[in-house]
């Protein structure tokens, strides 16, 4: 019998194997790939497809009855056009076949009254929807006994998502061959769990999901296969947690009268209750002999940085160093500045005015000059630097620390597992403690699924005295005068001594007209990818906007920073001090502009999503987001978190030309709540989890195919699977008693992740 890891060729033949290899995101190559290519939906033979629901451009398989046929000769060429009109009883669809001769055999096959499956791409011709040259399979058998006919009529047909080269029923045929050939006896899910939750065994589940006898059958099969997904992931995570707790870390207990104590005394505000609790939990972790692995997530503006800084100070007090890893150059600079400001004399070791116990704060980025870089490397390696703030440049091999005790990773979703691992490897005294901070809060189900190897701490409240941001949608198509009012509001803010961000999806100019920059496919962040490696995150991260363009190929290009800035400075905002900021500017230039803005020398900053994460200018009170519909929900939430950080009321205007519909609904949702957890749940519903997991895990495709993190029933499975996984791994960490599970997990983890596990 064939194994799941065997190639498809010997089972389905060369031709089908080749077509299957081009299907889906990464192609179907093995028997396992094919058997986990689950049907997208099911049709009952005899239930006709709702023709009205078909969208132009889609590859569809339609079950319909032939209503009428006709045949006419072609005008300018030999041959004929054979047309069949099919119906579901309400809508109609024309099937068109061009052929040599009279196509008599088609006449016979496609006789009026018969029902068939028709597969092709929906197009439209003279206002009528049609399938041009569809593949088809007629459904009525020649079996005339009534019982057979009835059985035939209620048979459930799996519909697979198909391509122009391979149709749904051809995929179904291949799947059947694979089901027959494959050895499915080894069940990855332990028998005890199957019994406890009354789940199908593996072979039955795979048969039932592809060839169900009833609807209940495929539902049960799907439940069981969801369990596989949830359970295997949770077992891997439980193993990771277990392995990491066995590692030794240098304990970094608090030191009375140390830098942290002095810092706390100098703090200009009181910590929120949440910050205090998080601080205590982290302090206890750091004092322990095993590495901390903690995720600190909180609402935008909830003050995660102070919490992280206090942890760093505790480690410095205990003779260690801390590294703060930021996803972009702008953000690293920003952290460097705000931390040196917060620390004041405590970061001025050996300088005039430095405090007694002061430490040194060092910045390390990819765009630094050779001399600055050498100095930074030396400070890190000698131990002179208590805190090293940096970008991806910190991960490079030549960066060494004297005694790295704590790694803080800001805005985690931009970093993959390997990057965390690379930093960990830099510690000489056991493993460093790790604190991860997310940019926007994510629902707990997602947190335990995606970051399940981390303990989770949440900051739910904002510091006192913040007025919530008021957000309004500005629909320029319907209410053009609102735009003029928008610029007036900007002027009013500036007149009151405040500052304003104007955010656009694109940079503009030379990127214009390039394929993919017209708002289709390429999201704002992608274009933002600057020349330096440090800007990688602007491209490689969680790109909410990426998906957006896909459905709407014919939109105009998104508004660009350079165009908007030019228009405004010559028009509505003439006379204001206005500058542009984007990822294509050289690093020093970006830094200079950010500094000038932070310093109040600029009124208006027209910018891309480089301001998205972490940028903190308390005097900036308003943000105008142009073409706001091109951004994702969480991204908008993160963006507006840049304003209203001081005591003044924040204002965010979402300018959009999108008509009423789903995009506008998303904007309304953002305007209606400032609860980031709620919004991220919404965001998740609209995105495929694969994007979330793929970006957050190892940049790879998700192993979750059936499981939906936002579905209530699935959340329940995740919770149960997590507990079962913890119990199993607790009793049998190496899975010695579960060879089938161990094998399935090993097969699923790709090379990088397997490597990670071995190292971890």
**499: Cα within 13 Å, side-chain hemisphere:** 25
Supply the minimum distance, in Å, between the C-beta of residue 409 and ligand ADP. Answer: 13
Spatial CA neighbour of 307 closest among 320, 324, 319, 332: 324
Residues whose CB is less than 8 angstroms from the CB of residue 667 and which lie 6 or more positions away in sequence, other chains included: 473, 628, 629, 636, 654, 656, 658
| Binding of residue 303 to Mg ion (CB under 5 A) | no
Q: Angle CA(132)–CA(138)–CA(141) in degrees, nearest 5?
A: 180
Which listed option, ligand ADP, Mg ion, none, makes contact with residue 306 (CB within 5 to 8 Å by class)? ligand ADP
For ligand ADP, the binding residue among 463, 557, 600, 699 (CB under 6 A) is 463
463 versus 557: smaller Cβ distance to ligand ADP: 463
Judge contact between 274 and 460, C-beta under 8 A.
yes
Q: Taking contact as CB under 5 A, which single stretch among the options 288-296, 613-621, 634-642, 644-652 is the one that binds Mg ion?
A: 613-621
Supply the minimum distance, in Å, between the C-beta of residue 301 and ligand ADP. Answer: 5
Q: Taking contact as CB under 5 A, which single stretch among the options 181-189, 527-535, 609-617, 642-650 is the one that binds Mg ion?
A: 609-617
| Binding of residue 272 to ligand ADP (CB under 6 A) | yes
Supply the minimum distance, in Å, between the C-beta of residue 278 and ligand ADP. Answer: 11
Please give the residue whose beta carbon sits closest to ligand ADP in the complex: 303
438 versus 702: smaller Cβ distance to ligand ADP: 438
Residues facing residue 295 across a β-bridge: 436, 456
Judge contact between 400 and 364, C-beta under 8 A.
no
| Binding of residue 676 to Mg ion (CB under 5 A) | no
| Binding of residue 297 to ligand ADP (CB under 6 A) | no
Binding map of ligand ADP across residues 620-659, x = CB under 6 A, - = no contact: ---------------------x---x--------------
Neighbour-count burial of 616, counting CB atoms closer than 10 A to its CB (0-12 exposed, 13-18 middle, 19+ buried):
middle
**R_g over Cα of the chain:** 30
CA–CA dist 77, 98 (Å, integer):
11
| Binding of residue 301 to Mg ion (CB under 5 A) | no
Judge contact between 657 and 632, C-beta under 8 A.
no
**166: Cα within 13 Å, side-chain hemisphere:** 23
For Mg ion, the binding residue among 583, 614, 632, 641 (CB under 5 A) is 614
174 versus 674: smaller Cβ distance to ligand ADP: 674
Q: Using CA of residue 128, residue 133, residue 137, residue 138, what is the dihedral sign?
A: positive
| Binding of residue 134 to Mg ion (CB under 5 A) | no
Q: Angle CA(690)–CA(695)–CA(700) in degrees, nearest 5?
A: 70
Which listed option, ligand ADP, Mg ion, none, makes contact with residue 301 (CB within 5 to 8 Å by class)? ligand ADP
| Binding of residue 432 to Mg ion (CB under 5 A) | no
Which segments of 133-214 does DSSP mark as H helices, in order? 146-153, 168-181, 191-197, 202-210
| Binding of residue 303 to ligand ADP (CB under 6 A) | yes
Give the position of tokens 């579960």. 738
Residue 541, φ and ψ in degrees, nearest 5: -85, -155
Q: Taking contact as CB under 6 A, which single stretch among the options 42-50, 174-182, 223-231, 269-277 is the one that binds ligand ADP?
A: 269-277
Q: Taking contact as CB under 6 A, which single stretch among the options 252-260, 283-291, 295-303, 516-524 is the one that binds ligand ADP?
A: 295-303
For ligand ADP, the binding residue among 616, 678, 732, 752 (CB under 6 A) is 616
| Binding of residue 334 to ligand ADP (CB under 6 A) | no
Query: In the complex, which residues of this chain contact Mg ion (CB under 5 A)?
Result: 614
Query: In the complex, which residues of this chain contact ligand ADP (CB under 6 A)?
Result: 269-272, 275, 298, 300-306, 463, 614, 616, 618, 641, 645
């Amino acid at each position: 019998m064939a194994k799941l890891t065997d190639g498809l060729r010997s089972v389905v033949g060369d031709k089908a194997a080749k077509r299957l290899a081009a299907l889906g995101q990464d192609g179907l190559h093995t028997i396992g790939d094919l058997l986990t290519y689950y049907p997208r939906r099911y049709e009952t033979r005899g239930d006709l497809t709702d023709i009205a629901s078909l969208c132009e451009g889609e590859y569809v398989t339609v079950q319909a009855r032939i209503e009428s046929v006709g045949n006419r000769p072609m005008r300018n060429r030999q041959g004929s056009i054979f047309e069949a009109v099919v119906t579901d009883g309400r809508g109609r669809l024309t099937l068109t076949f061009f052929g040599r001769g009279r196509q008599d055999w088609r006449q016979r096959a496609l006789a009026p009254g018969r029902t068939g499956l028709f597969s092709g791409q929906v197009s439209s011709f003279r206002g009528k929807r049609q399938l041009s040259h569809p593949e088809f399979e007629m459904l009525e058998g020649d079996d005339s006994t009534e019982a057979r006919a009835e059985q035939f009529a209620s048979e459930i047909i799996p519909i697979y998502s198909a391509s122009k080269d391979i149709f749904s029923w051809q995929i179904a045929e291949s799947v059947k061959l694979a089901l027959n050939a494959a050895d499915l006896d080894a069940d990855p899910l332990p028998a005890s769990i199957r019994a406890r939750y009354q789940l199908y065994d593996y072979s039955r589940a795979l048969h039932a999901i592809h060839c169900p006898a009833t609807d209940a059958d495929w539902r049960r099969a799907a439940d069981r296969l969801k369990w596989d997904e949830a359970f295997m992931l949770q077992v891997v995570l439980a193993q990771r947690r277990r392995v990491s707790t066995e590692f030794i870390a240098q304990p970094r207990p608090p030191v009375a009268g140390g830098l942290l104590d002095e810092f706390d005394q100098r703090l200009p505000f009181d910590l929120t209750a949440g910050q205090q609790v998080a601080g205590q939990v982290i302090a206890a972790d750091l004092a322990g002999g095993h590495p901390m692995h903690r995720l600190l997530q909180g609402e935008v503006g909830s003050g995660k940085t102070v919490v992280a800084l206090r942890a760093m100070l505790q480690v410095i007090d205990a003779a260690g160093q801390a590294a703060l890893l930021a996803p972009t150059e702008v953000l690293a600079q920003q952290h460097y500045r705000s931390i040196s400001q917060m620390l004041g004399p405590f970061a001025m070791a050996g300088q005039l005015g430095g405090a007694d116990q002061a430490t040194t704060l060092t910045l390390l980025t990819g765009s630094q000059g050779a001399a600055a870089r050498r100095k930074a490397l030396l400070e890190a390696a000698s131990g002179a630097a208590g805190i090293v703030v940096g970008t991806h440049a910190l991960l490079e091999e030549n960066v060494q620390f004297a005694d790295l005790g704590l790694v803080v990773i800001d805005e985690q979703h931009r970093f993959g597992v390997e990057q965390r691992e690379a930093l960990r490897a830099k510690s000489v005294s056991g493993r460093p403690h790790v604190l991860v901070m997310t940019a926007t809060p994510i629902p707990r189900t997602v947190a335990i699924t995606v970051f399940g190897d981390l303990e989770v701490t949440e900051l739910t409240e904002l510091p006192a005295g913040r007025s919530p941001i008021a957000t309004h949608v500005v629909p320029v198509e319907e209410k053009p005068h609102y735009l003029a009012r928008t610029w007036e509001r900007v002027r009013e803010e500036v007149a009151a001594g405040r500052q304003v961000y104007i955010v656009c999806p694109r940079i503009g100019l030379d990127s214009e007209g390039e394929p993919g920059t017209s708002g289709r496919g390429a999201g704002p962040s992608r274009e933002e990818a600057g020349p330096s490696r440090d800007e990688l995150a602007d491209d490689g991260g969680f790109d909410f906007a990426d998906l957006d363009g896909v459905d709407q190929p014919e939109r105009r290009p998104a508004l660009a920073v350079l165009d908007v800035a030019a228009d405004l400075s010559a028009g509505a905002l003439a006379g204001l001090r206005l500058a542009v900021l984007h990822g294509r500017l050289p690093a020093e230039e970006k830094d200079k502009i950010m500094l000038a803005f932070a310093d109040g020398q600029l009124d208006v900053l027209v910018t891309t999503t480089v301001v998205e994460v972490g940028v903190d200018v308390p005097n900036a009170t308003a943000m105008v987001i142009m073409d706001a519909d091109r951004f994702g929900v969480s991204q908008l939430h993160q963006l507006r978190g840049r304003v209203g950080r001081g005591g003044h009321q924040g204002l965010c205007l979402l300018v959009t030309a999108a008509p009423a519909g789903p995009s506008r609904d998303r904007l309304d949702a953002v305007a209606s709540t400032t609860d980031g957890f709620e919004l991220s749940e919404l965001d998740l519903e609209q995105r495929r989890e694969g994007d979330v997991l793929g970006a957050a895990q190892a940049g790879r495709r998700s192993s979750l195919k059936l499981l939906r993190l936002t579905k209530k029933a699935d959340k329940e499975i995740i919770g149960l699977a997590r507990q079962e996984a913890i119990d199993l791994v607790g009793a049998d960490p190496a899975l010695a008693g579960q060879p089938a599970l161990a094998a399935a997990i090993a097969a699923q983890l790709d090379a990088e992740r397997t490597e990670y596990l071995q190292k971890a």
